[in-house]
Amino acid sequence: MNGLGGLNKSPNGVVLGLVQLQLPVIETRADVTRQAERIAAMVGKARRNMPGMDLVVFPEYALHGLSMDTRDEVTCSLDGPEVALWKAACREHGIWGCFSLMERNPGGYPYNSGIILDDKGELKLYYRKLHPWVPVEPWEPGNLGIPVIEGPKGAKIALIICHDGMFPEMAREAAYKGAEIMLRTAGYTAPIREAWRFTNQANAFQNLMVTANVCMCGSNGTFDSMGEAMVCNFDGSIIADGRNGRADEIVTAEVRPDLVREARAHWAVENNIYQFGHRGFTAVAGGAGDCPYTYMQDLVAGQYRLPWEDSVRFTDGTSCGFPKPTRRYGETYKDAAE
């Protein structure tokens, strides 16, 4: 059920619009400005397209294009003119919006960041990508965790970015913190198509959570982004998709956070998000609540190491033309030089 994409909106429904934005070419500051203006204009299109839409979602790289350019000239800040444009657009059109920017970072490489603004243009969610797509992406690893906010109609919403969704721990963390809808924005190209589909579905089903996912779309003359917007219900079924790959199409769906809450409370079998911390509750009171997972224990202890660790070939970005890093996580360039 998706209410015909939101045309027939129910009292408890939240209507999402996923923008399969045309992939731009960004080389100068003027390009960034033009693209920011185009995104703001698309906010208006979203509102005209679907008067009942609650949240419009733009993909990763919507502003930057599929460029790994780290120059200050093409990176942005939260208090910069690009975000100001988007705040004004959300306010003017009375709609929530999710946006992408490569955030300037004086202490290192830029962050790959995402924000959600409410219908008054106020910043409600601020996230930095935890898992850049190495070795291709040079972005600084995120340090803000996975925030969860109260969005339209009181829905609990999280945002992750692209490669983040390949790690089941990301969706589990979002759900553990209460997310009923998890957005996943991306710039993926066609080789990732199948993995994109089944991870979006698995993330939904394993956590009894709606996942709403969208990539950039079209060609920049070198890369072909795939669009592939898809909304997965909490049972893993796909209730809306943009498999036709049409650039600038806004794929819409109505989702029901109230039914997510109902499933989490009333499902017995396959209530995996609950059962993960209450193993075997039929046999033992309350279930087992220990942590039998070695990788979790080792990661917390700072001792994460694979049995095949020494055979891993790619451990930095030199294969993609980036210099071998000397900074440790948490250090700035200045710290590393001292």
Kindly state the tokens that stand for 175: 């759900």
Q: Considering only CA atoms, which of 180, 230, 174 is closest in space to residue 59?
A: 230
pTM over 0.75: yes
Q: Considering only CA atoms, which of 186, 68, 72 is closest in space to residue 136?
A: 68
- How many other CB atoms sit within 10 Å of the CB of residue 143? 10
Q: Catalytic residue at 129?
A: yes
Among 90, 162, 215, 232, which one carries the catalytic annotation?
162
Among 9, 60, 76, 232, which one carries the catalytic annotation?
60
Q: Which H/E stretch holds residue 37?
A: helix 29-49
Among 82, 129, 137, 156, which one carries the catalytic annotation?
129
- How many other CB atoms sit within 10 Å of the CB of residue 277? 13
pLDDT at 167 over 90: yes
Judge contact between 263 and 208, C-beta under 8 A. Answer: yes
Q: Catalytic residue at 162?
A: yes
Q: Catalytic residue at 180?
A: no
Domain layout of the chain by residue ranges: 3-269
pLDDT in tens, 53-109: 999 999 999 999 998 999 999 999 999 999 999 999 999 999 999 999 999 999 899
CATH tag for 3-269 (out of 3.40.50.800, 3.90.1010.10, 3.50.50.60, 3.60.110.10): 3.60.110.10
pLDDT in tens, 291-334: 999 999 999 999 999 999 999 999 999 999 999 999 999 888 77
